[in-house]
Chains A and B, each alone.
Chain A
């Protein structure tokens, strides 16, 4: 394989990310169900899955919306057989179709897992790359209703287990200058878009896209950089452009170059490698078509996003070609390529970070989760990023996915689990249980959290608006946009609902008791803007019905100010405010 595919479809291009979707997507609310990964890791089996199906029915979780039963990594035979995916014969002796039939026979929906790379994250050599058509036809035969697609061993980016040198596809070379009509234009004097690129020793590096797998970077704003030269042409015509560059194959300096004049791409290919990152060379002539007057020549590389979108689009296309089955498409590239920009074109949701836990369970072992940590592996790590991503989500667009629920795992208490559930419901996240349901009984603490109908109703609200952070005690000017990782704070989230109500969530992120500030109806409406249904009614109501979504207690009030008193460490309060008159 010599490199990533040419991208002829403009809808897969960076310049088109904000435009319409490629596929006709069914507007749907975030998926709910059970996924095998957090509960059993690679050790899930047919017997365990059937037990989960029976428990979903016994507990009535299906009636609350938990409808998808998804087999994650570890379910396949580690090699293809005659070019096809097969079930692991020890774990799933009856095969996937029989598993699907069992799930469907119970009135539930069946989901599976694959990976855009050559292997699955577990190492099994059954990644979908190069087998998109075959595998999607098999998935269709197995009657799947949901597919989660991972990003390990990917060919065209330095993803997990991929060749680290794949970074050469993800970044432009270090650029020193361009030459056109015998004039040299220094890169250091060109305009730089975004905050990714940087000037060092009169050259520009990091022309590409932030890697969003780790929690280091905000998802808001332009997440990639180009350099733009303004060139005045005396007349229309095709010119030769020369780029002086040095290549590498690391994050920040690659080998793949894209050149565009305005929105017209003139060059999109791998340049010849240079001897080192310090040894500059001049590219072959690149033909560019200039118009008389000012022209914007863009030196860039958006392939990190475009390649990944292209790979996911291939799968989506083959799923559609295989038949008309309604399949939820869950993108799981861990936020690496900023999928909040392009995920809506192919998927129903997109993971925003690396995993919420790396200590998954196994049969007899609950696994371990955390409230906070420096990396992605905690409830607050995922929340802190997702909470400022509301403008990327929506009905018909898709949902930010801060990973599966860790409720029921060791390492977190019931207060943390309840706040976790409330956060995910307020943020319109997919609700995929990751607990061994055999441990759950109706009325116990785990059940009461995962079966809280009032919270689930927020996630299932047909208006489909992710809550906005309208206030935080952390000092900042834009609480809905600023990426805050210091958990010593209280957040207040507001979520407009279809019946004209607004859900208000107060979250104490810290590990100590805190007084909670109050907010007024005016502050709520100012921040939720035009998204509130019947804003005038909410603004002018004389009384409001307030329902505490944890206790179920309801009361009416004439107050226009709402608070939560004092919240214990990691605790939260969610109320539903409905204008009465």
Chain B
């Protein structure tokens, strides 16, 4: 799924116009310039996390959760600019992580990975189902 298609689907499901969203979303603080410049490239998991988290903050007026519960994600701190985005969507159950070790636990968010269309669509659904004020939404870590 490209970034543009992701944003288009988010707009459609949220009931907001897609036309002009790149400029409007940036002014509202939930989109970045790169979303428009690279709108035709496949969206990475860290960018899905960023857009979902910032939409949650800026459009849905949610408050951040304490991110200490996401400390088990081994790649969380690989990304200074997206660590909070990743932690917030993980803790709210919008996106999951995978245990990539067979003989123990090594939880991996996979920042630069890409999900299929169905997963990204479901992430948007989960985002829009959040009621502001909810705390840890659901634990998807076993998926």
Taking Cβ atoms with an 8 Å cutoff, the residues of A that contact B are 41-43, 73-74, 77-79, 88, 90-91, 121-124, 152, 160-161, 214, 354-355, 358-360, 362-363, 365, 368, 373-377, 411
Contact = CB atoms under 8 A, between A and B. Distances in A.
A375 B77 CA distance: 9
Interface string B81-105: 1011001000000000000000000
Which DSSP category, helix, strand, loop or mixed, fits chain A's interface?
A: loop
A43 B58 CA distance: 11
Contact of A360 (B23, B27, B84, B87): B84
Given A79-B37, A359-B84, A90 B27 contact: yes
20 contacts: A73-B81, A78-B38, A79-B37, A90-B23, A90-B33, A122-B34, A123-B81, A160-B78, A160-B79, A214-B77, A358-B77, A358-B83, A360-B84, A362-B29, A362-B54, A362-B58, A363-B29, A368-B64, A368-B66, A375-B71
Contacts of A359: 64, 67, 83-84
A541 B87 CA distance: 56
A410 to B, nearest CB: 8
A354 B84 contact: no
Interface in B15-74: 23, 26-27, 29, 32-34, 37-38, 54, 57-58, 63-64, 66-68, 71
Contacts of B32: 42, 74, 78, 122
A557 B76 CA distance: 53
A161 B112 CA distance: 9
Contacts of B87: 358
Contacts of A73: 81
Interface of B: 23, 26-27, 29, 32-34, 37-38, 54, 57-58, 63-64, 66-68, 71, 76-81, 83-84, 87
Contacts of A43: 29
A358 B27 contact: no
B80 A373 contact: no
Nearest to A123: B34
A170 B23 CA distance: 43
A365 B56 CA distance: 13
B33 A365 contact: no
Contacts of B38: 78
Contacts of A354: 77, 80
Nearest to A358: B83
A91 B27 CA distance: 8
B84 A358 contact: yes
A377 B79 CA distance: 13
Contacts of B80: 121, 152, 160, 354-355, 358
B136 to A, nearest CB: 16
Among A79, A123, A354, max chain B CB count under 10 A is at A123
B62 to A, nearest CB: 10
A121 B71 contact: no
Contacts of B29: 43, 362-363
A354 B77 CA distance: 9
- 3 A-B pairs with the lowest CB-CB distances in the bound complex, closest first: A358-B83, A78-B34, A359-B84
Contacts of A360: 84
Given A79-B37, A375-B71, A121 B81 contact: yes
B84 A161 contact: no
Contact of A41 (B27, B34, B37, B81): B81
A161 B67 contact: no
A57 to B, nearest CB: 26
B44 to A, nearest CB: 9
A152 B23 CA distance: 27
A122 B81 contact: yes
Contacts of A377: 77
A158 B57 CA distance: 33
Contacts of A363: 29
A464 B125 CA distance: 56
A78 B33 contact: yes
Contacts of A214: 77
A365 B64 contact: yes
